[in-house]
Each structure stands twice: as structure tokens, then as C-alpha cells.
Structure 1
């Protein structure tokens, strides 16, 4: 801890801002990753309309999922 409380406060605020930016970037990267993996999934043999509906249903997290971790 810095001896100067203002320096300590600025350091903590900077850390928290960096953490928030990292969290947002991680969430964005994860969404892009899953989007890339699921792109063209319907073209694979053995994956039809029903299977795609099951996969979509399984990954329907909704906003409450992200509130839990954010």
C-alpha cells in the first residue's frame, strides 16, 4: 500500500478499470469463439434441424447468466 492515500485510491481505481475491460474483452472473445465454432454446423452430416434446436436450446443462457458472473 502506498503511503499516500490518493495514490492508493488511483491505483485501485486503475486496477478495477483494467479488470472490467479485461472481463468485457474476455466475454467478447468467448462469444466470437463460439460463433466461429457453430458457423456451418448445420452442414455437417448427422446434424439436422432437431439437433440444431437442441444445441440452441442448451446454449440459451439469457441475460441472467451474464449477471451472475458480472
Structure 2
């Protein structure tokens, strides 16, 4: 063991600020996992919506799709997914 580590040990500084039971509750908690998962899912959904908005902007340039059909597609998407960015 190095000198600095021995000094810290003598001073009692090597003790964790949280007990093992507290650490176990934090890391075994599904709440932490679910919160991170939900945050990631939200970010992914926002990124997907931005991507689809870009696609829908150029929908009229696709051969065979006019303003009327593009409008129907956008309306369906808004109703189905509740996106008002289109």
C-alpha cells in the first residue's frame, strides 16, 4: 500500500460516504433504470420526428404524390402520432 493511501486510511478517509445498503438500494433500483430508459426513448422519439419532418417536407417531389395526397399523409401522421410540427 502506498504512503498516501496509508495516511488516508489512518485518517479514516477511505470510508464511503454511503453505506453498502444505501449503495445497493441505488444500484439495484429499477427506478434508476426506468428513468434512464424513458429519457433515452424520449430523445430517440424526438430525433425520429425531426427526421420524418424532413422527409414530409419533400413529399410533393415524389412522382405521383401531389399536394392533396401529401396533405392526407401529413394529416394521418398528425392524428396517429400527435405531431404538430408537420
Which structure has more relative contact order (CA 8 Å, sep 6+)? It is: 2
Alpha-carbon distance in structure 1 between the residues aligned to 2:39 and 2:75: 29
1:10 aligns with 2:21: no
In structure 2, what is the equivalent of residue 68 of structure 1? Answer: none
Larger Rg: 2
- Name stretches of at least 5 consecutive residues in structure 1 with no aligned partner: 64-70
- Name stretches of at least 5 consecutive residues in structure 2 with no aligned partner: 1-19
TM-score where L is the length of structure 2: 0.53
Q: CA contact under 8 A between 2:56 and 2:74: conserved in structure 1?
A: no
TM-score where L is the length of structure 1: 0.62
User: CA offsets per residue over residues 7-39 of structure 1, 9 Å max, x none?
Assistant: 233222432221121111111121122112222
Aligned length: 60
